[in-house]
Amino acid sequence: MQKAVVLDNQAIRRALTRIAHEIIEKNKGIKDCVLVGIKTRGIYLVNRLAEKIEQIEGDKIAIGELDITLYRDDLTNTTSNKEPLVKGSHLPIDITNKKVILVDDVLFTGRTVRAAMDALIDVGRPAQIQLAVLVDRGHRELPIRADFVGKNIPTSNAEKIVVKLEEIDQVDQVGIYEI
């Protein structure tokens, strides 16, 4: 059951604009930078960020997609005997010696980000890995923090953050739900 909408369409757009500016500022431009979205919603956020960065800088930033399915540490904990559905990664350029900005919708325990870093390092050795998230909800299990955060939303363990994006959900919205 939904408790509250914490970000609407305009708030998401403002958060992504701010993150785009922060990425440019921290990296002193976009030279040698690559945005990499963690499937699924991170890909749509990467596309939006790339568009905003291009509007600000007047130049395109390289983007990629990362499927972390086989790097997750919770695959062995499932009660299902089904094979994981791997959607595939797409990194159009070599990430070696690049500043890679991983993008995801929600930062929670940090396990998704750890899996994403493992996946990245298997394809190249970035000069630096940064993290951009739309929502940081806390409850870290690993020592991981985001460099760029759209909104910090403290939650309890009895709550869930649900990000809906127009590209797949027909609405832009972040809500808090009771589990």
For residue 57, the domain's CATH number is 3.40.50.2020
> Is 132 a member of any domain?
yes
The per-residue pLDDT for 82 is 58
Q: What is the pTM of this model?
A: 0.91
Cβ atoms 176, 7 nearer than 8 A: no
> Is 179 a member of any domain?
no
Query: Could you give the CA distance from residue 61 to residue 28 in angstroms, rounded to a whole number?
Result: 13
Q: What is the H or E stretch that residue 169 is in? A: helix 166-169
8-state DSSP, 70? G
The per-residue pLDDT for 81 is 54
The per-residue pLDDT for 161 is 97
The per-residue pLDDT for 78 is 47
Number of domains in the chain: 1
The per-residue pLDDT for 75 is 58
> Is 173 a member of any domain?
no
Pull the structure tokens for residue 43.
């890909």
Query: Could you give the CA distance from residue 36 to residue 65 in angstroms, rounded to a whole number?
Result: 5
Q: Beta-carbon neighbour count of residue 150 at 10 Å?
A: 24
For the chain (length 179 residues), average pLDDT per consecutive 10?
Answer: 94 98 98 96 98 98 94 60 60 94 97 95 96 97 97 95 97 96
> Is 142 a member of any domain?
yes
Domain holding 48, by residue range, is: 19-73+85-156
> Is 177 a member of any domain?
no
pLDDT per residue over 118-150, tens digit each? 999 999 999 999 999 999 999 999 999 999 999
> Is 174 a member of any domain?
no
Phi and psi dihedrals of 45, rounded to 5? -65, -40
> Is 48 a member of any domain?
yes
Amino acid (one-letter) located at 167: E
CA distances from 65 to 15, 26, 146 (A): 21, 22, 18
> Is 110 a member of any domain?
yes
Query: Could you give the CA distance from residue 51 to residue 62 in angstroms, rounded to a whole number?
Result: 11
The per-residue pLDDT for 92 is 83
